[in-house]
Amino acid sequence: MANDHSAAASEPKRRHRHEGPQKHVVAFVLSLVLTIIAFAAVSAGEINTTFTYIILVSMALLQVFVQLAFWMHLKDRGHLFATMGIIFGIIVVFTMVIMALYWVWW
Amino acid sequence: MSAHDHHLDGHLPHEPEKATLEGRNKILGFWLFLGAETVLFGTLFAAFIALRHQTLDGPTPDHLFELPMVFAATMILLVSSLASVFAVQALHQHKVKAMIVWLIITILLGLSFLGLEIYEFNTYVSEGHKLTTSAFSSSFYTLVGFHGAHVAFGVLWIGLLIAQIFKKGLTVVTAPKIYVSAIYWHFIDVVWVFIFTVVYLMGKVG
Amino acid sequence: MAAHAHTVKRYRGLMDWLTTVDHKKIGILYLIAGGLFFLVGGLEAVLIRIQLIKPMNDFVGADTFNQLITMHGTTMIFLAAMPMLFALMNAVIPLQIGARDVAFPFLNSLGFWTFFAGGVLLNISWFAGDIPDAGWTSYVPLAGPMYAGGHGVDYYLMGLQIAGIGTLLGGINFMATIINMRAPGMSFMRMPMFTWTIFITSALIVFAFPVLTVGLVALTFDRLFQANFFETGNGGNAVLWEHIFWVFGHPEVYILILPAFGVISEVVSTFSRKRLFGYSSMVFATVLIAFLGFMVWAHHMFTTGLGPVANGLFSIATMLIAVPTGVKIFNWLFTLWGGSISFTSASLFAIGFIPTFVMGGVTGVMLAVAPADFQYHDTYFVVAHFHYVIVGGLIFGIFSGLHYWWPKMFGRVLNEKLGKATFWTFFIGFHMTFFIQHFLGLIGMPRRVWTYLPGQGFDTMNAVSTVGAFLMGIGTIIFVVNVIVSAANKKPVADDPWEDGRSLEWSIPSPPPEYNFKQLPLVRSYDAWWNEKQKGNTEMPPAEPVGPIHMPSPSILPLIMSIGLFAAALGFMYDHLIIAIAGLVVTFGSMFCRSVFDDHGFHIEPEEQEKGVHA
């Protein structure tokens, strides 16, 4: 019982009990900025191709991280297996992209 | 599955979606399903990446894609994702009306995304870019079409859930459904981030 | 049983089986369906071997031979082996983790019925006269619209697609069950080894099957809608199919073998009366095998010409898998070492498994050497290798598990004499069939060819191989006889019939009541039930007071949804769009009903539990 109580008492802090919309608006603005950078990099058209690719991929990865962590609550408590599932999925996808890039045509 | 999980009479807990074992199972199971969906879309992406240069006599990506339209679609989906975040927040605060309003906004944005996509596909077909044109076109339509089908399913699903909320109210049974559908909707947005990056933007760069 | 319980309708007889959401009954359904397909696949195997018994035989034609090998492989992997694993999973996992049911009982039933619909769809191709004949791997362009006209390969694509849905649902279900439904006190490192392997297998299913789904969709689009994924003439790429198939296909073989590892761990430990040696290293090895299993797919494709870098990488990664597998083998040996071993049928199959699987593993490492593989590729050496790991590994494991858990599943012990007869005929027949095929391969007999010329040194070895196949057939028939004999035997079975049971399933009646545990058990150690017995306890300490138990209601919807999918697939194949759409409407309509009408379930009150209700 003692354990239950302490767990309950510490809950509100850890769960952001009355979280406002600010955090989500910040995540939204971040996503917006990342998207615009990506589109701008392509529209500009002046930059070298490899560099543009690097920008595009990093913007996409950052945005996905932001959305997974904040909007999909992956950073919250009790999401261990959800996170592991997504990470393992990403590993599989990564190997398949390598496959598609290097081992389908040669 | 034990008995006392069920009789949460009277007031709703703070996070009603996680109040019952059934609810927690549903959320966990759904995340695992999303892990599978990640691989599903990943395979479609891999096929697309492998075949992206195989345009043969058909139109090339550079010639085909219109960035303003893609940007509009991206914004629509991003805002709809924000709307569904607010819906879940309203769910946590037990504000049923606000929740329904946000869900309806989500659906409307989803519908406009679909409308845009249908218009886009229609234009492409008229420009001679059909499923059968080349390996590039086959993989393009399959990848983007699978995403579009997911959006369509999401719209129908969330619509059905809104009807259920009207009928049954917000309970420990309906709350997990809403929560899970929101996660699904975000996932669709996440997939779209990769589609606009890999398919459209990289297609433009060449 | 209590047909009058509360307001929920309880079904009897056939309707009970069609609507059940009870994991124990679904396990039995999987066993019956999987066993039936096993017999069909076995019959196909025997026909293949009769054709090859002598040179220039004309028992079946070349076309029929192609159909036989295709259907044999597909049926055995997807419709026999996997369902029989699902049978054991369903029958045992909730009991081993001290749960009343799986996380999603409805999905469990849906998973079974979709698998069954897919299996039936694949097999009615025999009656439609349009049979898949491009091998179980369905390589393009052979399986493409150009070279495989007609609907044969369509049956393969649609059947596997539908069966795949069921498997994926099962994988998600068992992962969620093991994560969320463990009894109080059962930490991850107290889970029985079988539960661990099923957990990892389920994860492999969840991450590997979507790849197959996409591959099947792409090939279906190529065949039905003239898409160009694999059409070289229109920019497609045939190697892409090989990649997609094996990115799925290699994890698939670990999906098959890991549960067998789990069964062997349980059986070896129980019948040596010893704690499993190196439990935590076993867990680690299982996880490592699963992870590496995703990184080695291209070793099936050495001869496509991926280049030295890719071949080298995949060669090394493949050989690495031998390390955790070796850890497992030694752990089993050390568990047996110094144990007081009882040689029951289950234990014989487990002990027979160990050397057999080692042989399959060793030929696996031989095949992993890329330059050497250019010699072995597409010969009978490969056939021998994968039958050693799949039959000598998985099927021995399944037979072992069936003999071991039969009393828990059905409340009857299988006859030991007949069990041992099964083992010896099957074991000897197996080695007779496949050991010799290594040498057939090494002297150059190609696989998947319907006949051969005399005077190449193939004749005697092929004849021996065929006799072995008959022996395996006889072993299987003895097992079926055993099942019938034991069903006629009405002697009740004790809760712990082997008397050395170690995990929670042996602490409850055989067969268990439909709610499994009257009170959820409190788990205080690894090998929980064994340790309680050592302390002199006759039952598990309860973790909750006696109370009403909530149960999910039965439902006919899963069956209807699968019939819908079945009809839709036929509609798409034969261009009857109305049927296709009607089928999908039925399926989605059922989903709609499931979402709209809440399942409140029902309660079993303590008084009813006292009556000793049985499922």
Q: Of the candidates B200, B191, B89, which has an alpha carbon nearest to the alpha carbon of residue A63?
A: B191
Q: Does A17 sit within 8 Å of B14, measured CB to CB?
A: yes
pLDDT, average across residues C263-288 = 96
Block residue for tokens 């991850």: C188
CA distance A61 to A58: 5
Helix (H, G, I), strand (E, B) or coil at C132: coil
If you measure CA to CA, which chain B residue comes closest to A59?
A: B197
CATH of the domain at C286: 1.20.210.10
CATH topology of domain B24-52+65-205: Four Helix Bundle (Hemerythrin (Met), subunit A) (1.20.120)
Mind telling me how many Å the CA of B84 is from chain C's nearest CA? 20
Task: Reply yes or no on whether the pLDDT at A13 is more than 80.
Answer: no
**Measured distance CA(C567)–CA(C558) in Å, rounded:** 14
CA distance C547 to C543: 12
* C365, C231 contact by CB (below 8 A): no
SS3 of residue C56 by DSSP: coil
Query: Min CA distance, B4 vs chain A (Å)?
Result: 17
Asked if residue C289 belongs to a domain, the reply is yes
Higher pLDDT, B12 or B59: B59
Residue in C88, C157, C155 with CA at minimum distance from that of residue C125: C155
pLDDT for A17 equals: 52
pLDDT in tens, C152-180: 999 999 999 999 999 999 999 999 999 99
pLDDT at residue C460, as a whole number: 95
Contact C299, C315 (CB under 8 A): yes
CA angle in degrees (0–180, nearest 5) for C95-C270-C83: 50
Residue C600: the pLDDT is 85
C417 DSSP β-pair partners? none
Residue-range definition of the domain harbouring residue C209: 13-555+599-610
pLDDT digits (tens, 9 = 90+) for C468-526: 999 999 999 999 999 999 999 888 899 999 999 999 999 999 999 999 999 999 999 99
Radius of gyration from C-alpha coordinates of chain A: 20
ipTM of this model? 0.94
Q: Is C203 exposed, middle or buried (0-12, 13-18, 19+ CB in 10 A)?
A: buried
- Two tokens, residue C499: 């008397």
pLDDT, position C96: 96
Which of A5-14, C9-18, C530-539 is the least confident region?
A: A5-14
Tell me whether residue C569 is in a domain: no
Identify residues of A whose CB sits under 8 angstroms from chain C CBs. 81, 85, 88-89, 91-92, 95-96, 99-100, 102-106
Q: Is C597 exposed, middle or buried (0-12, 13-18, 19+ CB in 10 A)?
A: exposed
Touching subunits of C (3+ CB pairs, under 8 Å) are A, B
Interatomic CA distance for residues A103 and C306, integer angstroms: 6
Which contiguous run of DSSP H or E holds residue C603? Answer: strand C602-604
Interface contact flag, C228 B135, Cβ < 8 Å: yes
Residue C344: C-alpha distances to residues B25, B103, B134, C334, C474 (Å):
39, 61, 61, 19, 20
| Chain B: touching chains (3 or more CB pairs < 8 Å) | A, C
pLDDT at res. C26? 97
User: Would you tell me which residues 342-401 of chain C have a C-beta closer than 8 angstroms to some C-beta of chain B?
Assistant: none
- Give the tens place of pLDDT for each residue, C556-608: 999 999 999 999 999 999 989 999 999 999 999 999 999 999 888 889 888 88
- Give the list of residues 6+ apart from residue B32 with CB closer than 8 angstroms, or none: A81, A82, A85, C172, C175, C176, C206
* pLDDT reading at C528 higher than 90: yes
- pLDDT value of residue B57: 87
**Which one of B42, B86, B197 has the shortest CB-CB distance to A38?**
B197
- Mutate which of B32, B45, B60 to disrupt the C interface (most C C-beta within 10 Å)? B32
Contacts with C175 from chain A: Cβ below 8 Å: 81
Residue among A95, A102, A104 minimizing CB distance to C295? A95
Q: What is the pLDDT of residues C30-72, one digit of tens each?
A: 999 999 999 999 999 999 999 999 999 999 999 999 999 999 9
pLDDT in tens, C409-422: 999 999 999 999 99
> What is the structure's pLDDT at C9?
67
Q: Does A66 touch chain B (CB under 8 A)?
A: no
Residue A3: pLDDT over 60: no
Judge whether residue C235 has pLDDT over 60.
Answer: yes
Task: Please tell me the least confidently modeled range out of A37-51, C154-168, C188-202.
Answer: A37-51
Q: Considering CB atoms only, which of C179, C243, C305 is closest to A99?
A: C243
pLDDT of residue A49: 84
User: Predicted confidence band at C611 (pLDDT cuts at 50, 70, 90)?
Assistant: low
- Look at residue C11 in the predicted model and tell me its pLDDT: 82
Task: Give Cα C280 to chain centroid, integer Å.
Answer: 25
Contact between B155 and B111 (Cβ < 8 Å): yes
Beta strands in C450-552 (DSSP E): 549-551
Q: Residue C602: which of C535, C544, C555, C557 has the closest Cα?
A: C555
Comparing CA positions, the residue from C61, C54, C59 lying closest to residue C461 is: C54
- Residue B3 has a pLDDT of 37
Kindly list the domain boundaries of chain A, sorted by start residue: 20-75, 77-106
Is residue C400 over pLDDT 90? yes
Predicted confidence at residue C115, as pLDDT, reads 97
- Exposure string for A49-78, b = 16+ CB within 10 A, e = fewer: eeebeebbeebbebbbebbbebbbbbeeee
Residue C568 in domain: no
What spatial distance separates the first Cα and last Cα of chain C, rounded to whole Å?
7
pLDDT of B123 reads: 94
> Which helix H or strand E contains C551, and what residues bound it?
strand C549-551
pLDDT number for residue C8: 63
pLDDT in tens, C127-141: 999 999 999 999 999
Distance from B164 to chain A by nearest Cα, in Å? 23
Neighbours of chain A (3+ CB pairs under 8 A): B, C
Q: What is the DSSP string of B70-116?
A: HHHHHHHHHHHHHHHHHHHHHHHTT-HHHHHHHHHHHHHHHHHHHHH
Tell me the pLDDT band of B7, cut-offs 50, 70 and 90: very low
pLDDT score, position B10: 55
Task: Mutation target for A interface from C294, C296, C304, C313: give the one with most A CBs within 10 A.
Answer: C294
What Rg, from alpha-carbon coordinates, does chain B have? 20
Quote the tokens at residue C198: 């099923």
Residue C574 is assigned to a structural domain of this protein: no
Q: Which residue of B has its CA nearest to C239?
A: B50
Q: To which residue do tokens 């009991």 refer?
A: C95
- Name the band, by pLDDT with cuts 50, 70 and 90, for residue B206: confident
Question: In this structure, what DSSP letter does residue C601 have?
Answer: -
**Residue C550 host element (H or E):** strand C549-551
Which residue in chain C has the smallest CA separation from B55? C235
DSSP, collapsed to helix, strand or coil, labels residue C549 as strand
Judged against a pLDDT cut of 90, whether residue C182 lies above it is answered with yes
Assess whether pLDDT exceeds 70 at residue C550.
yes
Mean pLDDT of A71-99: 91
Judge: B32–C207 Cβ closer than 8 Å, yes or no.
Answer: no
In eight-state DSSP terms, residue B10 is S
pLDDT in tens, C256-270: 999 999 999 999 999
Least Cα distance to B137 among B196, B55, B23, B41 occurs for B55
Taking all residues of chain B, what is their mean pLDDT, rounded to a whole number?
Answer: 91
Which chain C residues are closer than 8 Å to A98 by Cβ? none
Would you put residue C378 in left (φ > 0), alpha (ψ -120 to 50) or beta? Answer: left
In chain A, positions 4-23, which contact chain B (CB-CB < 8 Å)? 15, 17-19, 21
Say yes or no to pLDDT of A2 above 50: no
Residue C346 lies in a domain: yes
